[in-house]
Structure 1
Amino acid sequence: MTTLVAAPHYRGKHAPPPIPSLGRTCWTLLAAVGTARLGYFVVPFLSYWLVTDRALTATQTSLVLTAFGLGWAAATPLGGWLSDRYSRRHVIIVSAFGASAAYLALGLSHSLWSLTVFAALAGCMFDLYRPASQALITDTVPEQRRARALAALYLVMNTSRGVACIVGGALAESNFVALFVLNAAANAAFGIIAAAALPPDPARAPGQKSRWGEALADRRLIAFTAITAVFFTIHMQSMITIPVVAAELGATPALYGLILAADPAAVLIAQLAMQRRLEHQDPIRVCAIGIATVGTGLAITGIGTSVTWLILTTPIWVAGEVAFFAVAPAVVASLAPDHLRGTYFGIWGSAMGLSAVVAPLAAGAVTAMSGTAGLWTFCALGGLATAAGCLRLGGRLAPALNPLT
Structure 2
Amino acid sequence: MRAAAQHDRPAAGGPRRWLTDTAGGLPATFWYLWAGLLINRAGAFAMLFLSLYLTASRGASESLAGLVVGAYGAGGAAGVLLGGVLADRWGRRSTLLAAHLVTAVLMVALALSQHLGVIAALALLVGVTHSMPSPAFVAAIVDVVPEHRRSRAFNLQFWAFNLGMAVASLLAGLLAEASYVALFLVDAVATLATAALIAWKVPETLGTRGTTPAPPATTPTGTLPTPPSGTLVTSHIDARPVHRRPGLHTALTDRHFMTFVGLTFILAVLTMQASTIMPLAMRADGLGPSAYGTVVALGGVLIVLGQLFVPRLIDRHRKAHVLALSTALLAVGFGALAAADVLPFYLVACVVWTVGSMLAAPPNAQINADLAPPVLRARYQSVFYLAFPAASFVAPTLGGFSLQRWGDGHWLLVGALGLLAAGGHLLAGPSRERRVAALRRQLAEPVEPSLATRA
TM-score range normalised by the length of the shorter chain = 0.7 to 0.9
Structure 1 residue runs without a partner (length 5+): none
Which residue number in structure 1 is paired with residue 415 of structure 2? 380
Corresponding position of 1:84: 88
Cα contact 1:99–1:184 (8 A) shared by 2: yes
Equivalent pair of 2:257/2:368 in contact (CA under 8 Å) = yes
Q: Deviations over 1:235-280 (max 9, x none)?
A: 122232345567773336xx87665443332112232222222122
Q: How does 1:3-402 map to 2 (within 5 A)?
A: 6-7=2-3, 21-46=25-50, 59-106=63-110, 113-203=117-207, 204-205=212-213, 207=229, 210-243=246-279, 249-251=287-289, 260-300=296-336, 305=341, 310=346, 313-371=349-407, 373-401=408-436
Report the alpha carbon displacement of residue 113 of structure 1 after superposing the two structures with TM. Answer: 4.3
Give the match for residue 444 of structure 2.
Answer: none
Decide whether aligned partners of structure 1 residues 299 and 100 sit closer, same or farther in structure 2, where only a CA change above 3 A counts. farther
* Aligned-partner Cα distance in 2 for 1:104–1:230: 36
Question: Is residue 62–residue 360 contact of structure 1 (8 Å, CA) maintained in 2?
Answer: no
CA distance in 2, matches of 1:166, 1:340: 37
Offset at residue 156 of structure 1 (A): 1.2
Q: Which has the higher contact order (CA 8 A, sep 6+)?
A: 1
CA distance in 2, matches of 1:189, 1:183: 10
- Asked whether the 8 Å contact 1:150–1:329 carries over to 2, the reply is yes
Task: Decide whether aligned partners of structure 1 residues 74 and 307 sit closer, same or farther in structure 2, where only a CA change above 3 A counts.
Answer: farther
Unaligned runs of 5+ in 2: 12-19, 214-227, 231-244, 438-455
Question: Which one-letter code corresponds to 1:381 in the other structure?
Answer: A
CA distance in 1, matches of 2:337, 2:253: 39
2:451 maps to what in 1? none
Give the Cα–Cα distance (whole angstroms) in 1 for the partners of residues 153 and 141 of structure 2: 7
Letter in structure 1 aligned against 2:175: L
2:38 maps to amino acid: G
Q: Secondary structure at the match of 1:38?
A: helix
Q: 1:95 to 1:238 in 2, by over 3 A?
A: farther
Looking at structure 2, the residues matched to 106 and 256 of structure 1 have their Cα atoms a distance apart, in angstroms, of 30
| Helix, strand or coil at the partner of 2:399 | helix
| Alignment length (residue pairs) | 390
Question: Cα distance, 1:140 vs. partner?
Answer: 1.1
